[in-house]
Structure 1
Amino acid sequence: TQFYGVDKKPGFDVYIGGMQDNGTWRSFANPGPSNGWIFSVGGDGFDVAWHADGQKIVASSQFNGIVRTTNGGISWASATTGLGDTGQAGGGQFITSIASTDDDPDLLFTIGQSGVWRSTDFAASWQAATIESDKWGASGSGKVRISLADPDVVWAGYRMDSQGRLQVSTDRGLTFTAVNNPPGVSGRFSGLATHPADPQTAYVLFSQFGLPKIYRTTDLGQTWEDLSGFENATDGQSTNGFPDVAVYDLLVMPDNPNVLWAGTEIGLFVSYDNGASWTFEDSFPAVSIWQMRVVDDEIVMATHGRGVWTVDLAAVPTAVEPVAEAAVPVRFALGVNYPNPFNPSTTISFDLPRPETVRLTVYDVAGRRVATLAEGTYPAGTHRVTWEAGGLASGVYLYRLEAGDFVQTRKMMLVK
C-alpha cells in the first residue's frame, strides 16, 4: 500500500498506481479498501498516466524504466525508444517522474541525467528537449510537471542552488530556461505543482529541516514567496501553522484557488486563505501523501502506507465556518487542538453549555498522565488553554475532557 503515484481511468472508477518494491497495480471498477486490485508490471512502481482513450496507460519503475499498454493493461511493452537516460548507469532517475496533461493526452515528459525528454505520441518515442545544461544539476530524483492551466508551460528540474536550477518552458517543452532560485532555501526539492488557472504560477516544495517548505512564483520563476512561514521565523518555527516536515505534493482547488492542500510526510495540511495560514486535516490519516491529482471532478491521492484515497471535489470544504465568540454553546464539546502537529505549544478549546466542573488532562500513548491543563468549575462558554510541551519527546499524545457526565478524548502530535 506504499504508493508513489496514481491515476484514474477517465470516466470510470478504475485506478492505477505505482508502489514501492511492489510494482504497478490496477484496480477493478469501484475497488474496496482491501480488495479489487490486480498486478500489472514489476519493479519499484512510480508515476503513471492513463490516456483519455481509456486503453493506453504508461507506468514507470526505477531508473526511467517506462512501459506502456495500448489495450487497457492486458499486455505491456517497453516504452523507452529514443530515451537516452535509462538504467542506473545510463543516467535514469531512481524515482521516475512522468508528466501528463488532459489538454494534450499524447504529450508526456520525463527527465534524467542529461536533461528533459519529450514524447508527443504517448511514450511510443522520445526526443530530447533543449535545456540550459550548465544549470541542470541532476542529482538523485527530480520532478517534471505540465501546467494545469496551459500545456505550453512545463517545469522540470532537480534542485535550486548553486549546482542547479529549476527550468521552465513556454513552448510546450521544446526549449527550457533556468529560473531564479528562492532566497531562503537551497538544495534538492521534493515536489513540484502548478496552478489550475494561472500558467505563470507554480509551487516548489522542499523538505529541509527548519527551512521554508513551499515557495510560490506568480511570474514564471522570476520571484518567489514562502507560503510555509519559515523564511522570516526567528525561532526556527513556522509563523503560520505549517509543520517542519517533508512535503511531497500540493494541490490548488480548481473551483476555489484560495484553498490549497499540501501532502506531507505526516498527513494533509489545508489552507483556506491562499497559503497565509495552515491547519492539519485530522479527518484524513496521518500518513505520507506523495501525489494528489484531479480526474473527473474527483481528487485521487497516493499515500505511502495507506493505499489510494479519493474524494469528490464537491465535498471539499472551501472555507472555515466562522465561530460566534459571544454565543453560548448548545452542547459539550472538545475541540481539535491548533496547530496540530505542533512544537512546542498548542491551543485546546472546549465548549460548556452550562457551568460545570471540568478536568482537562494529557496522556502519552502508554496511558501515563503528563499534564493537567484545566481543573475546577468553569462558566458556560468556549474556553481555550495552551499546552507547552517543550520538555516532552515527539510523538502522539491524547487529551481528555471530563465535564460532569461528558467525556471526550482526542489525539494530537508533537513533532520536534
Structure 2
Amino acid sequence: MRIIYTILLIVILTISFSKAQWQQVNSGLPGTSVFGLATDGQYIYAGTSNAGVYRSSNQGNNWTSANSGLPSSNAWELFSNNDTLFVGFNGPGAFRSTDHGNTWDTLTVGTLNSSVRGFISNDKYLFAATWGNGVFRSSDGGDNWSVINNGLNYLTFWDIISLGDTLLAADNGGGIYRSTNNGNNWTQSNAGITSLITHRLTTLGNYIFVGTSNGGVFRSSDSGINWEQVGLTSQTIWALLAYDTLLFAGTSSAGIFISYDYGNSWLTFNEGNPLGPVVELMYDSTYIYAATLAGGVYRYNKDNITSADEISTLIPNAFKLYQNYPNPFNPTTKIKYTIPDVGSGLAMTLLKVYDILGNEVVTLVNDYKTAGSHEVEFNADHLASGIYFYKLQAGSFVETKKMILMK
C-alpha cells in the first residue's frame, strides 16, 4: 500500500507541475545575471549586473532601461514602498524614485554612502541594512539617515525585516540580530541556529524563516528568539518567498524548493529551470518570479501550483513528530504528527506529556490512528511554568521533544 501512495504522490505532483514550466523572460535585459526584483503594481523591476535597473510593463515579456541617474554597476536590492522605489547597489550607492524609475534621487545612507543589501519600513521608519557599515534608519522617507549599530558586533548584513517595532537583521557571520525598539539596541538571537552566515528573511503565518549558508532553512515561532532547523540542511539558501500558505526557497546550486507545510517538508520546484543560483523570489497578481545569476529572470504561473489542501490529503511515507506550536506557549499549544500506511490501515498511537522529572502529566492520544497527518491541542492551564516533554509511540516508532510553558 505504501508503494501505491508514493506513486500517487509522484503522479499528482508531476501532473500539476507539468501544466506550466518556469519561463525565461529576458527580452531586453543586458545579461543573464539578475540580483533583485520588485513590483509596484504597474511595473516589475530587475536589478542587473553592471547595468543598473530595468523594468517591464508586461510582466517580463519585455524589459527597458530605467537608469536615468543611476551608476552602471550591480543593482542588488530593490524595494517598493507606497509608490516609492528604492534601489541599493552592490558597492556604494542607494537611490530613490517616485516616478516608477524614470528619474532617481541619490540617498546618502550614512557618511560612507553604504552598500545597501536590504530595505524595510514600518509605520515609523525606513531602515537600510548595509554590507560593511551596519544598519541605518530614516524618519523622513530616506532624506536623512542615522546609524543604529548599538549592540552590533558584525556589520555585514544581507537582509532586514520588521515586525512592528521589532526588527530582525540577517548577518554574514553574526547570524540573526534582533531589536525590539526600532533599532535603538540590538542583541544576537541565534538559539538553535547552527550556521551564522544568514541570508534572506521572510514571514509566513506565525513563523519567521531565515535561509543560511550550508545550513538550510530555520524557523522561529517566537518572533526570532528561538529557532529550529526545518529542512534543506545541506543547501545554501539565498532567497525565501512566502505566498499564500506556501514557502519557496531559492538555493545557490539546486534551484528552487517549495514547502506546503511551513517548512516541515520540501519538494523540488524546478520544472523548466536550469537549476542555477537563485538570488531573489517575488510574486505579482499572476506569476512567481525568480532572479538567477546565470539565467536572468524566470516566471511561473501561480494557477499551476498544487494547492496545500491537495497535498495535505496525501499519505505520508514515514512517522514524524513535529515541534509543538507555539513554543514557548501559554496555556495552549498544538502538536502535529504523521502516520504512514502500516499495512493494516491503523497504527496504535500513544502521545503523552511528561514533566522535567519524568512524571506523566497527561495522555493526549491512546487510540488506533489511520495513515495521514494528525494534530492535537494540549491545554496546560493547570500546570506551572517550566520545561515539559511529549513522546509519541506509534508502532516501532518512538520520539520525544521538549516544549516550554511560560506563564
With the length of structure 1 as denominator, give the TM-score of the two structures: 0.59
Aligned to 2:203: 195
1:274/1:21 CA distance change after superposition, 3 Å = same
Displacement of 1:128 after TM fit? Answer: 1.5
8 A contact 1:69–1:76 mirrored in 2: yes
8 A contact 1:28–1:37 mirrored in 2: no
Equivalent residue runs for 1:381-396 within 5 Å: none
1-structure distance, mates of 2:189, 2:315: 46
Aligned to 1:303: 292
Aligned mate of 1:46, from 63, 70, 76 = 76
2-structure distance, mates of 1:293, 1:151: 22
What amino acid maps onto 2:110 in structure 1?
L
1:108/1:114 CA distance change after superposition, 3 Å = closer
8 A contact 1:107–1:120 mirrored in 2: yes
The unaligned stretches of length 5 or more in structure 2 are: 1-31, 317-407
The structure showing larger relative contact order (alpha-carbon pairs under 8 Å, at least 6 residues apart) is 2
2-structure distance, mates of 1:314, 1:104: 33
Displacement of 1:104 after TM fit? Answer: 4.4
Displacement of 1:309 after TM fit? Answer: 3.5
1-structure distance, mates of 2:107, 2:160: 19
What amino acid maps onto 2:248 in structure 1?
W
The answer as to 2:57 corresponding to 1:28 is yes
Q: Kindly tell me the number of residue pairs found equivalent between the two proteins.
A: 278
Aligned to 2:260: 272
Aligned to 2:221: 218
Aligned mate of 1:283, from 271, 287, 303 = 271
2-structure distance, mates of 1:314, 1:249: 21
1:168/1:298 CA distance change after superposition, 3 Å = farther
1-structure distance, mates of 2:189, 2:286: 32
What amino acid maps onto 2:270 in structure 1?
D
State the SS of the aligned residue for 2:76: coil
Equivalent residue runs for 1:71-220 within 5 Å: 71-80=99-108, 83-86=110-113, 92-93=114-115, 96-101=116-121, 104=123, 107-133=126-152, 136-138=153-155, 141-147=156-162, 150-160=163-173, 164-182=174-192, 185-189=194-198, 191-198=199-206, 201-208=207-214, 212-220=215-223
1:292/1:31 CA distance change after superposition, 3 Å = closer
The answer as to 2:22 corresponding to 1:16 is no
Which structure: greater strand fraction?
Answer: 2
With the length of structure 2 as denominator, give the TM-score of the two structures: 0.60
Displacement of 1:310 after TM fit? Answer: 4.0
State the SS of the aligned residue for 2:250: strand
Aligned to 2:400: none
Equivalent residue runs for 1:294-373 within 5 Å: 294-295=283-284, 299-311=288-300, 313=302, 315-319=304-308, 321=311
Aligned-residue RMSD, C-alpha = 3.0
8 A contact 1:52–1:105 mirrored in 2: no
1:270/1:71 CA distance change after superposition, 3 Å = closer
8 A contact 1:159–1:186 mirrored in 2: no
Q: Deviations over 1:160-217 (max 9, x none)?
A: 5xxx34211223334322213435x34422x22121443xx32222223xxx311112
The answer as to 2:241 corresponding to 1:251 is yes
What amino acid maps onto 1:145 in structure 2?
I
Aligned mate of 1:262, from 249, 259, 283 = 249
Displacement of 1:264 after TM fit? Answer: 0.9
2-structure distance, mates of 1:311, 1:137: 37
